[in-house]
Structure 1
Amino acid sequence: MKKFYLMLALLFVGYMVPVHIANAGQETPAYAKWGQLAVKEVQAKYPTAKIIDYLHEGKEVRGASTIEKFKLWLKQSDKEFGVYVRISYITASQEIVCIEVQESKEDA
């Protein structure tokens, strides 16, 4: 019976180690918090649309503030379109100053 439990434990450990190693190199990007906020804002503005893709376009530092830039691709009925989200915040305190959501003029 001990052999059975030992084999079971070895199988469990053998299964878990590769999963842990595979995820070890992945860090949460610095913009993740702002990306979640961008997604929430778009979902609020377009509640019937499905978000099909997401891109962090970078950030812009302007003095004491930062602007995080995102583009999300949405599908609503048979229409696909892009939406730009710009989140401005005070860099030191991370206090949000403004969130702009603007539909793309070109097709996504």
Structure 2
Amino acid sequence: MRLPTRMIRTMVSLVVVGTLCIGMMGAGAAPEYAKWGQIAVKETQQRYQADIIDYLHVGRTYLSANKAEEKFKLWIRTKDGSEFGVYVYLQFNPAHDTEYTIRYERVG
């Protein structure tokens, strides 16, 4: 029996998000980037109408005293089956941990 494509995409998305959550819980305190990783996954799924099949936190860069940037690389699969990477950059004020902007850079 073959599962419908939509069901498979939903299951893969749940596994990715679940893995993020379990990884954060299992390590005790969540890493500083956890909140931004969840936002990166959610926003990228919405922007590309695609499933996230791999996730990597590249790192944080401090751009100024009141601006930091988290960088993630996500590998996505679109509804038509194509796959490619997307760098996701989230800029925010680290003192307040809010007020972010997001930009995407497609690779591959």
Determine if the TM-score, normalized by the shorter chain, exceeds 0.5: yes
Deviates more, 1:70-79 or 1:95-104: 95-104
Give aligned pairs, total: 81
User: Runs ≥4 in structure 1, deviation > 6 angstroms?
Assistant: none
What corresponds to 1:54 in structure 2? 55
Identity %: 44
- Structure having the higher Rg: 1
Counterparts of 1:32 and 1:54, CA distance in 2:
12
What corresponds to 2:102 in structure 1? 99
Change (3 A) 1:59 1:79: same
1:70 aligns with 2:69: no
Change (3 A) 1:25 1:33: closer
- Alignment partner of 1:85: what SS? strand
What corresponds to 1:86 in structure 2? 89
Counterparts of 2:85 and 2:59, CA distance in 1:
16
How many angstroms does 1:78 deviate by?
Answer: 3.0
TM-align CA RMSD: 1.7
- Alignment partner of 2:32: what SS? coil
Q: Which runs of 5+ in 1 are unaligned?
A: 1-23
Counterparts of 2:101 and 2:26, CA distance in 1:
33
TM-score normalised per structure 2: 0.68
TM-score normalised per structure 1: 0.68
Q: Which runs of 5+ in 2 are unaligned?
A: 1-24
